[in-house]
Every structure is written in C-alpha cells, then in structure tokens.
Amino acid sequence: MSKSDIRHLQIADYLIAQIKKGTYRIGDKLPSEHELCDKFQANHHIVRTAVARLINMGWITAHQGKGAFVISRPEVFPYQLSARTGFSENLKEKAVPHRGQLLHHDRRHPTQQECRYLNLETHEFIYDLRIKRFINETPVSLSKTIICEKDIPNLENYLTNFKSLYKILSDHYRISPVRTKSIVQAILPNLEDVLMLQLPENVPLVQIRSFANHPNGHPFEYTLSKMRSDTCHYVIDF
Amino acid sequence: MSKSDIRHLQIADYLIAQIKKGTYRIGDKLPSEHELCDKFQANHHIVRTAVARLINMGWITAHQGKGAFVISRPEVFPYQLSARTGFSENLKEKAVPHRGQLLHHDRRHPTQQECRYLNLETHEFIYDLRIKRFINETPVSLSKTIICEKDIPNLENYLTNFKSLYKILSDHYRISPVRTKSIVQAILPNLEDVLMLQLPENVPLVQIRSFANHPNGHPFEYTLSKMRSDTCHYVIDF
DNA sequence: CAGTGGTCTAGACCACTAC
DNA sequence: TAGTGGTCTAGACCACTGT
C-alpha cells in the first residue's frame, strides 16, 4: 500500500484542493465531520485525522460545538533576522501590538554546554531568562536566553515590569548585542510548547539558536527560540 | 479537559522522557505496540498516535514487521545560507556524498506573481526547474526555481546529465547569482512532498523562499525550497 | 508461522455551542 | 435538546519480517 492510497491523506488532499479552488472560501464553514463521513463513506476517525491535518497545515481552525472554518489568514509579520535587532525593535516600527512576558529568571552557574557557547568557566555566573512573546495578544514564541552575568551585574533589579530584554540592556548597560550566528530548524512542539503557546499538537515551529557577542567582541548571549511561523516569518536580507 | 490530560500526549511525553533519560538508548528497540498497550492500559490507536508523534519529532523510526527503534541520529549537515552559495557549493567542501536530480524543466511565460518577483513582463520567458536533492542518497529537499530566460539562452542544452544548477550558470554563462533575501517558515509537507521525499506525514520541513540577483544587479532568480531539517540545518553567519 | 507495525470500521461517551 | 468537534475502546484485517 502506497502513501497515496491512504484514505485520510486523500481526503485531506481533496479538501485542500477544494479550498484552493475556492469551493470553500476564507471564513466559510466546512461541512460537519458527520457530513464528511457520509460524503467520503469513511469513518469518523479517518475524517478526523484528515481534518486534523488541515488544522496543522494552517488551512482551517475548528471549534467545539461550532464547526471548522477556513482560516482568515491573520496578517503575517516579517521578523527581520539581522545582526542587530531583537524582537521588540523589530516590531515597534510597525504599528503592531506586541509584548514580551518574562516567565522565569535565574542567576546560576552555566552548564558545560553553556560554558562552550559563551566561553565561560563553570564557576562563573549566567542569567537564564524564559520569555514568552505575544503579537496581538496571541502567543507566538517561547525563548530561553543565557547571558553572561559579569557584563550585566544586578540584572534582577531591572526585571520587574519586564517589557523587552534588549531595551533593558540598552537603557541600563548601554549594551547592544551583535548577533554572529543563527541555526534554523523546523520542529514539532513538545508538550510544554503546546500548552504554553496554546497550539494544536502538530503545528510546526521554527526553532532558531542564536549566538550574539558583546559589542566589545566577546561571546555574550545564547538564545534558543521557538516561533509559530503562521503568524510571523523570518526574513533575512543579505 | 486540558491538553495535558490527553492520553496519547502523556504517553508520548513519557516515552520521550525515557529516551532522554537513557532508558532506551540510540539503536534500542522500543517495546512493541502490543506491550505498550498493556503497559499503559491503553488502546492500540492511542499508543499508535503516541508512537507516531515520536516518529514525527525525530526520536524514533518504525519498520513494519521489525519494530520501532531509537534513532541513531545521522550526522546533521550545516547548510550555509549566504549571499553566494548554492546547494552543491555548500556541501562539496565537506566530503559528503550529495547530488541533485532534475525532476522537470520548462521554458514558459511567467505568472503574474513571477513577473513581480523577477521584474518581468508577461510576454517574456522564464525557465522553471524542479530539483530534488539527496545527501547520502537520502532525499532531503525539493525545490522550484524560476530564472529569467534572457540571461541564460538555451539553458536546455546544458540540462542533460544535470548535477548542479549553479555550476551550469558558472561554467556556461559565467553567472554567479547573488542572493538578496530569504524568507523562512516551518511547514508540514503536502501529499506530493510526502511521496517525493519519502517522509512520515507530519515531519516538519523548513521552507525558504529566496530571491537572487544577476551579478549586474537585476532580479534574476526566485527559488522555493523545502528541506527536512533533521538531516540538514540552515546556518546564517552575520 | 507468529510477531510486528499500518489502516480502517463501529460505536461509546464527553464538552461545548446555539437555539 | 440537537448538533458539533474531541477522546477513547474494541476489534478486524492487511503487509512486512524473521524463524
């Protein structure tokens, strides 16, 4: 049996084609799962996995009790990946409501890997920040940032009423980190990501691991971020 | 009912934790689905969706008749995303067996979108190339490239025994395109991608849309590529 | 052949929405 | 209350692997 014979993939493919063709337009309600079962002479399960595929691919959303609707694609925001910009800097030029929420912060010794990344000794200290970011009050990304403590003593003092990390670094330390390298992957969210970002279980995320230097040139910051790419695209200008 | 109560997500999470902890090591066989059903007192279906999740997340592979095994992560290849490099140029420095296969080529008029991208009129011509790329004989990416015909007349003549597009451009036209912009997203494969890349249905892919100029500065090439990110990571140096 | 993963059916029960 | 999507059970049948 070939993949192309698989019933739920066929059904998903057919529904996507219908949406592309305009049979179902943006905002339209799809037939109910019950109706789709009749139409395709298939089981509830099969129809559901097909529908789930459309949800994960970003074609539709479903709401219990209401139905499944072709997505009115929210505006997609370009997120510039460059040597100099952070999340807020990127969006504030545009008139986009956005914010960062500090989930957790910690001052601790670095792990061995973090020592390699930031060129530190294990007895030194780092700050470990977990940040959740929103656009239009929709959660779009989770990130974990590790920064050398010696460059930014007493960071804790500035973390109340957190808004933007790069703003704190700029306002209180006059540091504007310089991104040197980013590694890009596509991943599926783990259970924590699913809960934190209120995602369907199989929506793909862009994961970026970035390294940034202190303006004076030494390794300063390591960030791992995971972002939904249905609301935000990374853009690189060369 | 919260997402964290969902049985198959719990089971997947548990199995992942076991792999991380080392209970199952690289190359080990997981218990059979039947055994997992017993262990978790859950249905075949539920166990299977949990297992499917691990497959899609890249933790395990499954083979009919044999079992499911913790993945011996194949070497991950860094793919440099820069202004000047193509696929082959990127990998040939490393001793990695790789090749490109030309699936299809066409000389035709551009669509309206392609006209905008390449600054063309609808009566001009473009080449439309579909290329599938392999690393170690594993298919890793599919791409669609649109190039202005006027800069590369009679491209057809050089497409037999296709190996690398950028090599053809360099050898026969002395053109080395300059990438100006890339847009990065995470997507799920459509049915065609699944078949062509021999993928599990829900493995996330990195999709990159790139624009490149002719060395003399005018828009020259537009490429949409989809790549598995379990075998290849995009790396950007700033 | 038995054991394993892969696809599908039939049907129960729940939670949410709209009327 | 009826209709909708969401989770799960029980069990059939197939395809592939190793003996």
**Where residue B27 sits, what CATH number does that domain have?**
1.10.10.10
| Contact criterion met (CB < 8 Å) for B53 and A201 | yes
Predicted local distance difference test score (pLDDT) of residue A129: 97
The protein residue nearest D6 (Cα–C1') is A64
CA distance A227 to A116: 25
pLDDT of residue B17: 96
pLDDT band at B73 (very low <50, low <70, confident <90, very high): confident
| pLDDT at site A76 | 84
Domain boundary among B54, B70, B86: B70
- Number of domains composing chain B: 2
| Distance CA A33 to C1' D4 in A | 8
**Domain encompassing residue B192:** 77-235
- Record the tokens describing residue B139, joined without a space: 């298919």
Tell me the average pLDDT across B227-236.
90
- What tokens appear for B173 in the block? 């036209």
Give helix A33-40 / helix A7-21 axis angle, nearest 10°: 110
Question: Are B204 and B97 part of one and the same domain?
Answer: yes
Q: Is the pLDDT of residue B94 over 90?
A: no
Residue of B nearest to A76 (CA): B185
Comparing A86-90, A227-231, B182-186, the range with the smallest average pLDDT is A86-90
CA of B35: nearest nucleotide by C1' is C4
Residues B130 and B185 in one domain: yes
3-state DSSP assignment of residue B114: helix
Residue A138 and residue A31 in one domain: no
Q: Do A159 and A131 meet the contact criterion of CB atoms below 8 Å apart?
A: no
Q: For residues A132 and A196, give the distance between their C-alpha atoms in angstroms, rounded to a whole number.
A: 8
**Cα gap A198→A196, rounded to integer Å:** 6
| pLDDT > 90? residue A193 | yes
Q: Phi/psi of residue A111, each to 5°?
A: -75, 175
Q: How far apart are CA B182 and CA B122, in angstroms?
A: 24
Reported as type and span, the H/E element at residue B208 is strand B205-213
- Asked if residue B117 and residue B191 are part of one domain, the reply reads yes
Question: What pLDDT shows up at residue B93?
Answer: 63
> Which protein residue's Cα is closest to nucleotide D4 at C1'?
A65
Give the pLDDT mean for B99-126: 96
- From the list B113, B179, B105, B112, the residue with the least C-alpha distance to B149 is B105
Q: Which pLDDT value is given to residue A88?
A: 67
Å separating the CA of residue A25 from the C1' of nucleotide C14: 31
Residue type, A176: S
Kind of pairing, strands A77-80 and A98-108? unpaired
Contact A184 B206 (CB under 8 A): yes
Q: Looking at the structure, do residues A99 and A34 belong to the same domain, yes or no?
A: no
- Find out whether B158 and B167 touch, Cβ atoms under 8 Å: no
Statement to judge: residues B97 and B213 lie in one domain: yes
Query: pLDDT digit string (tens) for A24-69?
Result: 999 999 999 999 999 999 999 999 999 999 999 999 999 999 999 9
Identify whether residues B137 and B178 lie together within a single domain.
yes
B145 in helix, strand or coil?
A: strand
pLDDT tens track for B42-60: 999 999 999 999 999 999 9
Whether B48 CB is under 7 Å from strand C: yes
CA distances from residue B217 to A35, A48, B85 in whole angstroms, order as listed: 55, 50, 17
pLDDT of the residue at A91: 67
Contacts of A204 in chain B (CB under 8 A): 186-188, 204-205
A82 and A58 housed in the same domain: no
Residues B161-184: what's their mean pLDDT?
Answer: 93
Q: Which of B3, B57, B234 sits opposite A184 (nearest CB)?
A: B234
Q: Which of A48, A70, A92 is the last residue of a domain?
A: A70
User: A94 pLDDT exceeds 70?
Assistant: no
- In this predicted structure, the answer to whether residue B233 has a pLDDT above a threshold of 80 is yes
From chain B, pick out residues whose CB is under 8 angstroms from the CB of A195: 2-4
Q: Which residue of A has its CA nearest to B238?
A: A180
How far is A102 from A134, CA to CA, in rounded Å?
Answer: 11
Distance CA B189, CA A186 (A): 12
Question: Which residue, of B70, B104, B120, is where some domain finishes?
Answer: B70
Q: What is the mean pLDDT of residues A223-229?
A: 95
- Between CA B31 and C1' D10 the distance (Å) reads 21
- Inform me whether the pLDDT recorded for B76 exceeds 90: no
- B138 shares its domain with B211: yes
Q: Per-residue pLDDT for B86 more than 80?
A: no
What stretches of chain B show up as alpha helix (H) in DSSP? 7-21, 33-40, 44-56, 87-92, 112-118, 165-173, 191-196
User: Taking residues B75-92, what's their average pLDDT?
Assistant: 77
Q: Which two tokens stand for residue A173?
A: 């330390």
pLDDT range class, residue B82, cuts 50, 70, 90? confident
Residue A185: closest CA among chain B residues belongs to which residue? B229
CB-proximal positions of chain D, under 7 Å: 3-12, 14-18
B47 CB inside 7 Å of strand C = no
Strand ordering across the sheet containing A205-213: A98-108, A126-135, A138-148, A219-228, A205-213, A178-187, B232-237, B77-80
Query: B183–A237: do the CB atoms touch at under 8 Å?
Result: no
pLDDT digits (tens, 9 = 90+) for B14-28: 999 999 999 999 999
Do B97 and B212 lie in a common domain?
yes
Clarify whether residues B55 and B89 are in a common domain: no
> Domain of B139: which CATH number?
3.40.1410.10
Q: Kindly state whether residues A194 and A133 are assigned to the same domain.
A: yes
